[in-house]
Amino acid sequence: MVPMLVAVIGGYLLGSIPVAVLVARAHGFDPREVGDRNPGFWNMRERLGSRAAAPVLAGDTLKGTLAGLLGLLAGGPHVSWLGVPSGPGLPALYLAVAAAMCGHAWPVFARFRGGRSVLTFAGGFAVICPPAFALALALLSLAGTAARSSAAGARIAFFACPVLQALFTPIGQVAATGALMCLIGLRFGQAALTGRRT
Ligand SMILES: O=P(O)(O)OC[C@H](O)CO
């Protein structure tokens, strides 16, 4: 019980760090009031350019990675082939990443107005299945180059995550990753309903 609480509370607090809001505040605006109104990397990049928005890319991704590592440590750090977590610690790992994604979406430190949790998911996925994450990064680069669009590359890599994970883990873990991705779908749906451009 205690490991689960550590994973959920720690993950949520990490995810709640409003990186885009903090970076944007330093530039004198609130990302939730400009562009597509999403406090995430893409909106920040459109407003500030890649270099100034890079801390958002790094920070939002790192939140998911740290939450995943926290969950892994709390639940029992069993890793198998190629560093893929396994065994009784898996629920704490997935709960920690889910909690971080909820923190990013509904941050306690930013009046519960957060983003879609794409990058926080990506950072957590790096812990959930490191080799699949590496392949997804390679796919992002290749598809982005082929399509001449980093956005297209990112979308293809995102949807490939569970497929790539299936090469390394049992299907139950792939389904758990799919459940995490559903939260992102929910956030896109909410944004569409409230009139945010997606
Ligand atoms: O899901 P977020 O809030 O990390 O933001 C998404 C990025 O802007 C890329 O879509």
Note the pTM of the prediction, 2 decimals. Answer: 0.94
Query: Per-residue pLDDT tens for 100-137?
Result: 999 999 999 999 999 999 999 999 999 999 999 999 99
Residue 198 lies in a domain: no
Residue 55 lies in a domain: yes
What is the atom index within ligand 1 of the atom nearest the CA of 120? 4
Query: Per-residue pLDDT tens for 45-97?
Result: 999 999 999 999 999 999 999 999 999 999 987 898 899 999 999 999 999 99
Residue 84 lies in a domain: yes
Beta bridge partners of 85: 79
Question: And the tokens for 17?
Answer: 């760090």
**Alpha carbons 149 and 129: distance in angstroms, whole number:** 26
CA angle 76/16/177 to nearest 5° reads 50
Question: And the tokens for 166?
Answer: 């299936």
The count of domains in the chain is 1
Q: Could you tell me the residue range of the domain that residue 138 belongs to?
A: 2-193
**Alpha carbons 179 and 187: distance in angstroms, whole number:** 13
ipTM: 0.92
**45 Cα distance to chain centroid:** 17
Task: Name all residues whose Cβ lies below 6 A of ligand 1.
Answer: 38, 40-43, 60, 115-119
Give the three-class secondary structure for 85. Answer: strand
CA 38 / ligand 1 centre spacing (Å): 7
Residue 66 lies in a domain: yes
